[in-house]
Structure 1
Amino acid sequence: MDDAHERLRSLGYLEQYSSARHSLGLYRNVAVSASYSSSAPEVALQRTIYSALSEVIRRHPILSVFVKDENTSAPYFARLPLIDLKKCVFFIPRKHHGAPNGARDLALDELLEDQHCTDFKEEYGQRPFWRLMVLTEIGDPTRFIASFVFHHAIGDGQSGVAFHRSFCSALSKTSVAESSSVEDSTVLTRSVVSPQDPLIPNIEALHKLPLSLPFILKALWYSWYPPSNTGLWTGLPTTEKYSSKRARYRSFSIPSETTRRLVSMPRSHNSTLTALVEVLLANVLFAQLPNEYSTLRCNGTISLRQLLPSDIVNADSIGTWLSTYTHDHFRPDQNDIKHPIDWEQASQVRATIVAEVAKKGSDSQISLLRYAGDIRTFLLNRIGKQRDTSFEISNLGAFKPPHDSSRWHIGRMVFSQSNNVIAVPLTACMITGGDNCLTIGFSWTDGAVEEELIDKVMLDMERDLKKLAAEGDAMVADEQAC
């Protein structure tokens, strides 16, 4: 078995962090889902998807690998000689119609929740560390939803977007080939020979990620003398039975016109959509939590792709190249509460993000992983202890379709992931699809937070976002009247 797998390269520190979490059952996967529709009058859906997917695999060699020796301190990427598509592509008929604009897609939420409970340990060494779940529409092969579910060591959230850009482009090319009666061998064998191209280097090999002495000393001080975090809400502590807890997931979408207003409004307040949603989430959490909790700490994701050599990593690359920022939110006095948003707070969050981006990878939290020792031991030592973060937020921005996707188009999109059990009790993921609708998804783990809390948070978030967009329209109308 070992002889059949070509050894490629060792995992970098950030990749090892994701690999160790997966191996220990602390985190399972990431997913980016997209709704596809075709202008073609007739589509042989399974054949089209198999053929297009084979093209995507040949373009991205990371899709032909798995992590070998994942449960050790020296994991590495190994190449599978052949990708059996029957083992990583699954077609699921939709039981009821998809959601109208602005509503929840219950079928997709249920699918994603199941996927975020399912790791990549089954048939280990025989399957790549990804799978494609295809939610089909009964009687209509020109429409489907594809959920690309993948191990975080092989890709970040932007990698999921890159996959769909490649897949959409390949679908259009495949449709043209079908109309010309060109048969792909993949259609007959349902398998793809793995490409022999080398993998893209890890983040540590592409960027020095320098650390200053004050930053290192500060990290050491906090490791020796952890702050008390009095008043900080972090959910219930992780228990020894964490692996038996079910991952949970729900999402909602905002109509395109409302999304457009929500994107444009923050600009006049020196803020962004990401900062706006972060502040709103903190506000609705404070409204539901007891007054004893005075602080909420957000951990946000920042892409480092723009700092890497453009001839090696670009928007269409698949890999893990990201960092984080941290921002604390404090419970306002009742007399100081501004509904539905305090724009000064939103501006401060944007300033935090801008300051982290301006560091260009220096003094980043991910740089400290090189000093963490054995990452598995580092993670195991955190089980049973109180977390130090309240929620995580990540925004993949607005989807930009490929230029060569004439026959297939991407509409609604959803970004989701397993909740990071030992790090945060709640994760919020955002993406704006090709239909210009913003979708926000929430991940949590049973036992970390109550389901009732999530229900209230989602209802309040959706209400406040729509209210904010409506108030923005009213302000514009008043200004025009003057």
Structure 2
Amino acid sequence: MYLLDQYRGTCLSCRYTIPTHLAPADSRARLQEAFKGALVDTIMRHPALQVGMEDVNAKVPSWIQLQSLDLAQHITWVSIDAHDDFEQTVQQTICTQLDDRFPDPEIKLPNWKVTILRQEDDPAMEVLLTWNHPQFDGAGARVIHEDLLRLLNAQDGAPVERTSLDGDILTLPSTPLLLPAPLEVVKSMPVDIKFLAKAFWEDIQPQFLNRDISLATWCPIRSTPYKTQYRAFFVDRTALGAILALCRQHKTTITGLINGLALIAFSSRLDSNVAQAFQSSTCIDHRRNMPPPPPEASWGTSDRAVGNYVTQLPHVYDTNLVALIRSMLPADAASTGGLDLSADLQRELWAVSAQNRLEIVQKLEDGLRNDIVGLFKYVGDWKQTMRGMAKKKRQFTWLVTNIGVLDGGGGKSGDADRSQRWSIERAQFGLSAEIPAAAIEFAPVSVAGGAMCVGAQWPDCAVDVTFGDAIMADLERWLGQLAREA
């Protein structure tokens, strides 16, 4: 997708609270040195940060072990003027980085970078980790931030001599690199003949024969001009606690709830002449299905592996369900918007959200049988496959990719010395527009004991900005209503 300009980058941004002894302006050099040292230790822990790609235009690209990294090409410090709006600058930087391209893959640089935004004397700074998805997935980025935080707190304040680091040049290990094994290599991914035949037919059938009314035909796939529209809103700690309690009460999760809210939003914003049914997709992290790594693995356990272990689970919302939801809406819902969730809609919302969770649980229990990744071995040319996808009808109206709860405490509880320790107070997650994928992609993430951010993105050339903003406004309003009424 990256080579065809169907996708550009992914970003997990975290707000780090700085220890008081490193916060003053005259401690800037020590602050930057401490951060660079902890990032070096994080790089050494995760081989995915040490490799580049070669033969990127071949049918089967491969990783190449690098001898060194120039950290000046991967770390950027941005000083924000005291009179500038820090929050606005953070959001603008995330939007810009999602659409930035990485250096030419032929240069064989790792496709990741860290950008730190800070106003002078501010006790917090924003750390953006932006990467090319083949390098690792969102859960892997969460692990990187958590390990970076832990390693920042492991420093006792004294300078640490790292013989591998000379200025900005980091010498990497010369011994053969042990990378986390790909999902399809370490786990059996059996594909039943019926599943394979269905996938093959969907791939080759003429589009005029595809009469599936749940496809997102209301949003044709367009490739140019490439631009991502990214939006985000925050749910504070108290409201999130109330929403989580409701989720437990109704036997669902935040992921299930976002799917349910999106169904109501799209049902109200699109009428039955445009969309009679819908499909959505949920990203599933299969690290729990991975076997333990080798004892010599630098990253420790399988749940701390930085790689790609995500697959997708489709959900179908049929005409009867969508018609039922629309029957509960005011007659002018599509034109006026801004409606609250009635008692009837809330009852249907929780039923849909619970069903969504059951489908996810069933998928995890079934493991990797009949998973889309199991079909990858039959793909001979990925560029040709992705070009073909861009010529088809769009399958998903929305997607939910929830990378879960980030541990922002640095591995130590208690408030006695909190001001002397690094911590993460919030996070937000975003992806660049994925041209053949869902019309709108939702990306929630939260910090343990803190707030939740719900990000969303869509291709500007395919989804009207006003429509996308309205869908996001619906989700923000309804989450607030659920929290207030809990």
TM-score by length of 2: 0.85
Matched, 1:339 2:339: no
Matched-pair contact (CA < 8 Å) for 2:195–2:370: yes
The residue aligned with 1:357 is 364
CA distance in 2, matches of 1:66, 1:460: 41
The residue aligned with 1:321 is 309
Q: Secondary structure at the match of 1:22?
A: coil
For 2:172, give the aligned amino acid. S
Cα deviations by residue, 1:146-199 (Å, 9 ceiling, x for unpaired): 11111211211110110001111121234x2xx324454677611211234321
Could you say if the C-alpha distance between residues 139 and 450 of structure 1 is closer, same or farther in structure 2, counting changes exceeding 3 Å?
Answer: same
The residue aligned with 1:194 is 172
Matched-pair contact (CA < 8 Å) for 2:164–2:171: no
The residue aligned with 1:403 is 411
TM-score by length of 1: 0.86
Matched-pair contact (CA < 8 Å) for 2:19–2:422: yes
Report 1:298-447 matches (<5 A): 298-312=280-294, 314-330=302-318, 331-333=322-324, 334-337=326-329, 338-340=344-346, 342-401=349-408, 402-403=410-411, 407-434=421-448, 436-447=450-461
Q: 1:244: Cα distance to partner?
A: 3.6
Q: 1:109: Cα distance to partner?
A: 2.2
Q: Which stretch shows the higher mean deviation, 156-165 or 258-267? A: 258-267
CA distance in 2, matches of 1:410, 1:231: 41
Q: Secondary structure at the match of 2:199?
A: helix
Match of residue 120, structure 1, among 102, 110, 113: 102
For 1:53, give the aligned amino acid. L
For 1:192, give the aligned amino acid. L
CA distance in 1, matches of 2:411, 2:473: 37
Match of residue 18, structure 2, among 24, 38, 50: 38
Match of residue 470, structure 2, among 442, 456, 460: 456
Match of residue 137, structure 1, among 119, 123, 140: 119
CA distance in 1, matches of 2:179, 2:226: 34
The residue aligned with 2:480 is 466
Q: 1:231: Cα distance to partner?
A: 5.9
Q: 1:288: Cα distance to partner?
A: 1.6
CA distance in 1, matches of 2:436, 2:124: 38
Matched, 1:28 2:8: yes
Q: Which stretch shows the higher mean deviation, 210-219 or 143-152? A: 210-219
Q: Secondary structure at the match of 2:384?
A: helix
Q: 1:223: Cα distance to partner?
A: 3.3
Match of residue 52, structure 2, among 49, 52, 66: 66
Q: 1:53: Cα distance to partner?
A: 1.0
Match of residue 34, structure 2, among 44, 48, 54: 48
Could you say if the C-alpha distance between residues 320 and 123 of structure 1 is closer, same or farther in structure 2, counting changes exceeding 3 Å?
Answer: closer
Q: 1:229: Cα distance to partner?
A: 2.5
Matched, 1:110 2:95: no
Q: 1:336: Cα distance to partner?
A: 3.8
CA distance in 1, matches of 2:120, 2:277: 48
RMSD: 2.2
Matched-pair contact (CA < 8 Å) for 1:235–1:448: no
Q: Secondary structure at the match of 2:107?
A: coil
Q: Secondary structure at the match of 2:244?
A: helix
Cα deviations by residue, 1:192-212 (Å, 9 ceiling, x for unpaired): 112343211111111011112
Q: 1:54: Cα distance to partner?
A: 0.9
The residue aligned with 2:242 is 261
For 1:461, give the aligned amino acid. L
Q: Secondary structure at the match of 1:23?
A: coil
Match of residue 199, structure 2, among 219, 230, 234: 219
Could you say if the C-alpha distance between residues 267 and 123 of structure 1 is closer, same or farther in structure 2, counting changes exceeding 3 Å?
Answer: closer
CA distance in 1, matches of 2:381, 2:240: 44
CA distance in 1, matches of 2:19, 2:367: 43
Q: Which stretch shows the higher mean deviation, 148-157 or 322-331? A: 322-331
Q: 1:234: Cα distance to partner?
A: 4.7
Matched, 1:295 2:277: yes
Match of residue 136, structure 2, among 143, 147, 155: 155
Cα deviations by residue, 1:64-103 (Å, 9 ceiling, x for unpaired): 11111112212100122111111111122345455xxxxx
User: Which consecutive unaligned segments of at least 5 residues does structure 1 have?
Assistant: 1-20, 99-104, 473-482
The residue aligned with 1:10 is none
Could you say if the C-alpha distance between residues 118 and 212 of structure 1 is closer, same or farther in structure 2, counting changes exceeding 3 Å?
Answer: same
Matched-pair contact (CA < 8 Å) for 1:237–1:384: no
Q: Secondary structure at the match of 2:76?
A: strand
